[in-house]
Chains A and B, each alone.
Chain A
């Protein structure tokens, strides 16, 4: 199991950046240990089996569950960390939460210009070169080789949730049915956790989620309908589309 993480740090000295990246990476490792659904001894697995009392939860688990609860309430139940079979699945929150923690490590270490891509979740800071922000492509869900839009981001995060693969992994928590109104949702927000949770929620909500997300922290949304049409909200401009 692995998530590719690429980091672009313009103008930085290699050694200090390297040390920070190692620390950031350790944050992701730690999150994996705690939240792996596939490790029966992870905290989330034990919690799912009812083996952890509320008072015994780690701060991280408590925080992730709180975020999940809030996201579920905000979306009328469309976002849920409970799969249709009732099992607990915190992946939708942990992915962005852990990546944002990694970004926080970089910022705390003094980096102000960087672009991190952790498995498709992007955090951009500063400008890669004077006068322009980071250009973040949005993958075309119909063709992995193509980019269907380019979003310019200076200090923000971009996350995408999509039904690229045959097996659907996003459910509408309100109905228990697989999400089908959109094939892809990309959200730009201030931080990766927000962007990631919102992207997943927009996918779960369907087309109505595109405008909904703007009232819940999304600076911009780019979504693709099953027929291939693209719908947007927020600051994405028409000329951003390639």
Chain B
């Protein structure tokens, strides 16, 4: 019973010497409009091509499945800095109204960061991620609000670019949020 060869991408998050804290602080804010997308929206136009590599990391850290609220209640007014998961109803994530059996939208766990909660909604077409939407992003650092408008799309670009047949990875001066990747990872884990 040979183990299946594995080709895939592991997503990790970890602390690295001194490089990120200042940069992270700048990416910790939120643009109010980023967090508005509802969770259960199926995407259209998915190409349905077969998975090319991001897919399941199979890390074994099966999502705790604890606080994945589908409500998409992203409070971004900057007033909620308790760091708790606002409106986390604890309801089942559910894929929502997928138009095809291959399109599934999964809501990742709400991850707490130093600056507030972050939660992603990830859409899969088969094993391929076709969209990542931020449902909740940290809202504490008002100064960084504009900066964070870039941070979430940049992170999404990296996750999506990794699936492109032409581009294996992207080099950039990116400082990214731990919470982002953990939420993404939990969505991948739930996908199985």
Chain A contacts to B: CB under 8 angstroms: 1-15, 17-18, 21, 25, 28-29, 31-38, 42, 44, 89-91, 94-95, 98-99, 115, 117-122, 124, 128, 134-139, 141, 144-147, 150, 158-167, 169, 184, 186
Contacts and interface: CB of A to CB of B under 8 A. Distances in A.
A72 to B, nearest CB: 18
A144 B150 contact: yes
Contact of A7 (B10, B15, B158, B176): B10
A7 B12 CA distance: 8
B19 A94 contact: yes
B19 A136 contact: no
Nearest to A119: B174
A3 B161 contact: no
Nearest to A165: B26
Label chain A's interface by main secondary structure: mixed
Interface in B20-41: 20-24, 26-27
A32 B15 contact: yes
A98 B17 contact: yes
B162 interface: yes
B171 A14 contact: no
B10 A169 contact: no
A5 B18 contact: no
Contacts of A14: 3, 6, 58
A144 B150 CA distance: 7
Given A29-B14, A120-B170, A138-B172, 14 more contacts: A2-B177, A4-B176, A4-B180, A8-B8, A13-B5, A28-B15, A29-B15, A35-B18, A37-B21, A38-B21, A137-B167, A164-B154, A166-B146, A169-B22
A147 B174 CA distance: 14
Contacts of B158: 4, 117
Given A6-B162, A144-B150, A11 B172 contact: no
A134 to B, nearest CB: 5
A3 B171 contact: no
B19 A91 contact: yes
